[in-house]
Amino acid sequence: MSDLHSETSVAFVRTEQVPASPPPASTSGLQGWLRENLFPTPLQSVLTIIMGAIAGYILWLALDWAVFHAVFTGESGEACRGEGRQDGACWPMVFTRFPQWIYGFYPVAERWRVNIVFLLGVLSLVPMLTPTLPYKKFNAIFLLGVYPILTLLLLTGGHFDITASTWLTTFVFVAAVVLPILFLGFVAKIISPALAAISSAAIAGAAALLLVLFSIDFGLTYVETSQWGGLLVTLVVAVTGIVASLPIGILLALGRRSQMPVVKLFSVAFIELWRGVPLITVLFMASVVLPLFLPPGTNFDKLLRALVGVALFSSAYMAEVVRGGLQAIPKGQTEAAQALGLTFWQNMGLITLPQALKLVIPGIVNTFIGLFKDTTLVGIIGLYDLLLIIQTANTDSNWAAPQTHSTGLFASAALFWIFCFGMSRYSMFMERKLDTGHKR
Amino acid sequence: MSVVTGGDAPPKVAYFNDPKVRSWAVQIALVVVVAYFAWQIFNNTVENLREANIASGYGFLDTTAGFDLSFTLIPYTESSTYGRAVMVGILNTLLVAVCGIIATTIIGFIIGVMRLSKNWLVAKVAEVYIEIMRNVPLLIQILIWYKVVLAALPSPRNALSVGGTVFLSNRGVTIPKFIWGEGSWMIVVGLVLAIAGIWWLYRWARARQAATGEQFPVFLTSLGMLIGLPLLGYLLAGGPLSFEFPEQGNFNLRGGVGLVPEFAALFAALTIYTAAFIGEIVRAGILAVNKGQTEASYALGLRPGPALRLVVIPQAMRVIIPPLASQYLNLTKNSSLAVAIGYPDLVAAGGTVLNQSGQAVEIISIWMAVYLTFSLVTSLFMNWFNSRMRLVER
């Protein structure tokens, strides 16, 4: 009995672990993935097959049009006409006209000026938008203070006709700003006299410097804004709109949260008026009615009129974005600032706005994406933005071909898509980056 | 003890440090500045208009227009007035906005649910759709629909037909026309009765469920009433309703109701563009409902269908409705892009009036007033709806 036991027991005890078997083929690897994600139930399988068929068909149509049946080489519309050549895109048209899409009708000899503007913009914007790089403050001063003036001088050529009346108007405006500051500093003593004196001198000096800069002849040929076009106009409209809308939007947002009934009423009325109407009516207003509002005989640039319209329109949207940020800052921050004896503007400038604006960076980028897409509307009032310049190919007899329309439209769609998709990814990246301090 | 404060008089504050004085000073200054600019603008405008010999006022709306519009819902001819042309524009804007809102809501909800599907392919297709559509300007999409897609459709002679009733061609979409015969009012009466009955049934079923806990198949009964009662009216009146089907002629489609290609392009682009945004809103709304809510409803014994319908969706709707309302407004405002392809909406028709009459201030004021009314009405309705859906907190 005991013998038998000793003989069998030892032989059946394993000394090492059984190696783990691989999971069943149906739950791992490609097969498992397919089964889990595409064919879990009969109903889902049918859905997958239908979806796959639709998606595949659309993809095939797109590839067929853009690649398989497309024409890639040629000198004129001749290459894209005729049997078997008009079923796909006409890419040579895009290649030939691409410089015009970027610069519009900007004189070829002067295009280096646009290139410098683009290059400087990229060189200062990239470090600005990369959170890890230093010198943000200097960069911001350059981007918001120096760069716009440089752009204006380079793109137009400068050497504006600055008359005595311009000096006089500027003097009146500067006085209107400087006198209250001096009053606050020396009579009311709300701000320190030294600060009042320095800021007044700075404002007056900057105004004078600007007028002098604008009147200097740098030897650049004057390029009218009617010659600008393409991506240049699109970027000028969008960037000016967003940069101008930021300060106005901040003021409106503060006004909307103000305790003063009149300030609040004006802010709400302004914001709701512009947000309630379509951009196209604002642009029509800017191009047709705005000249009527100004003293008789004043006539100013079509592009500038559109810019005014776009800036007013986008500042209403920006105000709502900034208001969202202000609402997200806990009340304790303001109360702590007041307890420390800070005034309203000190609190806003040093405590609340820096936090609020940081929070709404994704919102600002999203507003910019919307504005960038909306710049296509300026074509309706006759400015040659990217979309309109692409469409000029339709009336070019050199490129007369059946697919000129579709090639131009899909190419512009792709260009806009690249810009907007890139910006939306950046906005998502910033959202993740900033999503730290305010979640409890 | 020895320190004696001077009674209860408040400490003396300089007038410019008194918050009240400051607040009034700022407000009065603002009013003065705004009033000054308004007065300047008014004066300049009057001066400029006098120089240009344009009479201001809305009297021009009674003048004969002298131009034709390609698509009208109310009778309109070249000899109609400017006012009527603007009216045609308002109705056309409303038509494309209402049709667009209905269609985009359906597509948007489908896209939003697809985006959350466990099926990888379905979720990816929805994601790609959203990323492409919302990152391409709407104007380009409208032009693509108008100049590429619709232009590629065959001529009316070889129009694509769906079951011989709906025809697609490069002249637009043609659908059958209803012919209302003698006694059609009975169908309308049936429909009104059905709606009243459904309302009553809904209240009765809720009261009964609250009292006894017994459920009543409200949806199926309502559907039955909605179809049955008008059908009964149709049969009682002896079948007064008939259809006029479009027929293919040599050059054009005869009969039926034609929707111009401009409408079709604008409708398609607006619907598809806005649906991408609504899809994201719906997705965010559903994700915002805590997973514990679903698990709790399963624990209470609800099946997945009722759990979704009774627990998840009512809570998701609270998150979805406010941004949804602003998307509806966006769609209405975006319909003004019709001017780019010549669909006679408010902006396009008004723009023609503006060019002919030169009454810029008046036309732009009409535009703004109409769009502001639209947004006001929509936001009032949505606020009311939102307050009904809101979480009632203690």
Question: Is A40 close to B143, i.e. CB distance below 8 A?
Answer: no
Percent of chain A with pLDDT over 90: 27
The segment with the largest mean pLDDT, out of A195-209, B181-195, B263-277, is: B263-277
| Strands B166-169 and B172-175, sheet pairing | antiparallel
> Does residue A115 form part of some domain?
no
The pLDDT confidence band at residue B5, using thresholds 50, 70 and 90, is: low
> Does residue A321 form part of some domain?
yes
CA distance A272 to chain B (A): 9
A chain contacts of residue B338, beta-carbon cutoff 8 Å:
none
The pLDDT confidence band at residue B250, using thresholds 50, 70 and 90, is: low
Task: Taking residues A405-423, report their average pLDDT.
Answer: 91
B314 touches A: beta carbon within 8 Å: no
Question: Is B119 close to A48, i.e. CB distance below 8 A?
Answer: yes
User: Which site among B111, B115, B121 would you substitute to test the A interface, given the most A Cβ atoms closer than 10 Å to its Cβ?
Assistant: B121
A chain contacts of residue B347, beta-carbon cutoff 8 Å:
278, 280-281, 284
> Does residue A271 form part of some domain?
yes
> Does residue A417 form part of some domain?
no
Which pair of structure tokens corresponds to residue A185? 């500093």
Percent of chain B with pLDDT over 70: 93
Task: Taking residues A40-56, report their average pLDDT.
Answer: 89
- CA gap B53, B34 in Å, rounded: 28
Kindly tell me if the per-residue pLDDT of B176 is higher than 80.
no
Q: Which of A398-402, B307-311, B347-351 has the lowest mean pLDDT?
A: A398-402
> What part of B 123-142 touches A (C-beta under 8 Å)?
125, 131-132, 135-141
Q: Which of B26-40, B205-219, B342-356 has the lowest mean pLDDT?
A: B205-219
* Closest in A263, A294, A417 to B136, CB measured: A417
- CA gap B158, B163 in Å, rounded: 14
> Does residue A107 form part of some domain?
no
Q: Which of A87-91, A197-201, A236-240 has the lowest mean pLDDT?
A: A87-91
B333 touches A: beta carbon within 8 Å: yes
Per the model's pLDDT, the better-predicted residue between A159 and A414 turns out to be A414
Question: Is B144 close to A406, i.e. CB distance below 8 A?
Answer: yes
Residues forming beta bridges with residue B258, ordered by sequence position: B174
Within a 10 A sphere around the Cβ of A260, how many other Cβ atoms?
16
Cβ neighbours of residue A375 closer than 8 Å, sequence gap 6 or more: A233, A234, A237, A238, A241, A310, A385, A386
The pLDDT confidence band at residue A194, using thresholds 50, 70 and 90, is: confident
Instruction: Give the 3-state secondary structure of residue B258.
Output: strand
CA distance B335 to chain A (A): 9
Cβ neighbours of residue B244 closer than 8 Å, sequence gap 6 or more: B176, B177, B178, B179, B255, B256
B chain contacts of residue A373, beta-carbon cutoff 8 Å:
135-138
Kindly tell me if the per-residue pLDDT of A251 is higher than 90.
yes
CB A386 within 8 A of CB A234: yes
Q: Which of A379-393, A424-438, B41-55, B205-219 has the lowest mean pLDDT?
A: A424-438
Reported ipTM exceeds the 0.90 cut? no
* Closest in A188, A190, A292 to B45, CB measured: A292
Task: Taking residues A357-361, report their average pLDDT.
Answer: 86
User: Which site among B24, B48, B370 would you substitute to test the A interface, given the most A Cβ atoms closer than 10 Å to its Cβ?
Assistant: B48
Task: Taking residues B346-363, report their average pLDDT.
Answer: 88
Task: Taking residues A142-150, report their average pLDDT.
Answer: 86
Q: Is the dihedral of CA A132, A135, A138, A142 positive or negative?
A: negative
> Does residue A280 form part of some domain?
yes
Question: Is B26 close to A277, i.e. CB distance below 8 A?
Answer: no
Q: What angle do CA B258, B262, B264 make, to 5 degrees?
A: 65
Task: Taking residues A176-200, report their average pLDDT.
Answer: 82
- For residue A262, give the chain B residue with the closest CA: B27
Cβ neighbours of residue A40 closer than 8 Å, sequence gap 6 or more: B118, B119
Q: Is the dihedral of CA B274, B277, B282, B285 positive or negative?
A: negative
Question: Is B121 close to A369, i.e. CB distance below 8 A?
Answer: no
Task: Taking residues B267-271, report their average pLDDT.
Answer: 94
Kindly tell me if the per-residue pLDDT of B142 is higher than 60.
yes
> Does residue A261 form part of some domain?
yes
Residue type, A137: K
- CA gap B227, B6 in Å, rounded: 86
Classify residue A317 as exposed, middle or buried by CB count within 10 Å of its CB (0-12, 13-18, 19+): buried
- For residue A40, give the chain B residue with the closest CA: B119
> Per-residue pLDDT tens for A317-354?
999 999 988 988 888 999 999 999 898 888 998 999 98
User: What local confidence, expressed as pLDDT, does residue B12 receive?
Assistant: 72
Q: How many domains does chain A have?
A: 1
CATH number at residue A325: 1.10.3720.10
Chains A & B: contacts with CB separation below 8 Å: 151
CA distance A388 to chain B (A): 10
User: What local confidence, expressed as pLDDT, does residue B391 receive?
Assistant: 65
* Closest in B125, B136, B140 to A51, CB measured: B125
- CA gap A271, A264 in Å, rounded: 11
Per the model's pLDDT, the better-predicted residue between B342 and B391 turns out to be B342
Q: Cα torsion for A406, A410, A412, A413, to the nearest 10°? A: 140
User: What local confidence, expressed as pLDDT, does residue B9 receive?
Assistant: 64
* Closest in B136, B334, B340 to A413, CB measured: B136
Kindly tell me if the per-residue pLDDT of A155 is higher than 70.
yes
Cβ neighbours of residue B56 closer than 8 Å, sequence gap 6 or more: B46, B49, B359, B361, B362
CA distance A317 to chain B (A): 13
User: What local confidence, expressed as pLDDT, does residue B227 receive?
Assistant: 86
* Closest in A262, A278, A295 to B371, CB measured: A278
Percent of chain B with pLDDT over 90: 31
Kindly tell me if the per-residue pLDDT of B393 is higher than 70.
no
* Closest in B44, B135, B147 to A424, CB measured: B135
The pLDDT confidence band at residue A437, using thresholds 50, 70 and 90, is: low
Q: Which of A79-93, A349-363, B296-310 has the lowest mean pLDDT?
A: A79-93
**Distances A308 to A380, B34, B161 between C-alpha atoms, Å:** 16, 18, 49
Task: Taking residues B184-200, report their average pLDDT.
Answer: 87
> Does residue A266 form part of some domain?
yes
The pLDDT confidence band at residue A439, using thresholds 50, 70 and 90, is: very low
Question: Is B47 close to A262, i.e. CB distance below 8 A?
Answer: no
Task: Taking residues B117-137, report their average pLDDT.
Answer: 92
- CA gap A313, B51 in Å, rounded: 30
- For residue B16, give the chain A residue with the closest CA: A188
Q: Mean pLDDT of all residues in chain B?
A: 84
- For residue B347, give the chain A residue with the closest CA: A281
CA distance A242 to chain B (A): 17
The structure tokens 């308002």 sit at B90
Kindly tell me if the per-residue pLDDT of A131 is higher than 60.
yes
Kindly tell me if the per-residue pLDDT of A440 is higher than 50.
no
Q: Which of A198-212, B163-177, B182-196, B323-337 has the lowest mean pLDDT?
A: B163-177
Kindly tell me if the per-residue pLDDT of B13 is higher than 80.
no
CA distance A60 to chain B (A): 15
User: What local confidence, expressed as pLDDT, does residue A137 receive?
Assistant: 84
Task: Taking residues A155-172, report their average pLDDT.
Answer: 83
B17 touches A: beta carbon within 8 Å: yes
The pLDDT confidence band at residue B8, using thresholds 50, 70 and 90, is: low
Q: Which domain holds residue A326?
A: 231-360
B chain contacts of residue A296, beta-carbon cutoff 8 Å:
44, 47-48, 51
A chain contacts of residue B122, beta-carbon cutoff 8 Å:
47-48, 51
* Among B256, B54, B254, residue whose Cα is nearest residue B166: B256
Residues forming beta bridges with residue B259, ordered by sequence position: B173
* Closest in A188, A280, A409 to B147, CB measured: A409
Task: Taking residues B12-32, report their average pLDDT.
Answer: 83
Question: Is A409 close to B148, i.e. CB distance below 8 A?
Answer: yes
Furthest-apart CA atoms within chain A: distance in Å: 126
CA distance B277 to chain A (A): 12
Q: Mean pLDDT of all residues in chain A?
A: 85
CA distance B132 to chain A (A): 7
Per the model's pLDDT, the better-predicted residue between A162 and A11 turns out to be A162
Question: Is B48 close to A291, i.e. CB distance below 8 A?
Answer: yes
A chain contacts of residue B135, beta-carbon cutoff 8 Å:
369, 373, 416-417, 420-421, 424
Kindly tell me if the per-residue pLDDT of A438 is higher than 60.
no
The segment with the largest mean pLDDT, out of A26-35, A164-173, A332-341, B149-158, is: A332-341
CB B25 within 8 A of CB A259: no
The pLDDT confidence band at residue B63, using thresholds 50, 70 and 90, is: confident
Within a 10 A sphere around the Cβ of A94, how many other Cβ atoms?
19
Kindly tell me if the per-residue pLDDT of B61 is higher than 90.
no
Task: Taking residues B41-46, report their average pLDDT.
Answer: 88
Task: Taking residues B136-165, report their average pLDDT.
Answer: 83
Q: Which of A80-94, A106-120, A342-356 has the lowest mean pLDDT?
A: A80-94
Question: Is B121 close to A48, i.e. CB distance below 8 A?
Answer: yes
User: What local confidence, expressed as pLDDT, does residue A1 receive?
Assistant: 47
> What part of B 74-133 touches A (C-beta under 8 Å)?
118-122, 125, 131-132
* Closest in B27, B137, B347 to A262, CB measured: B27
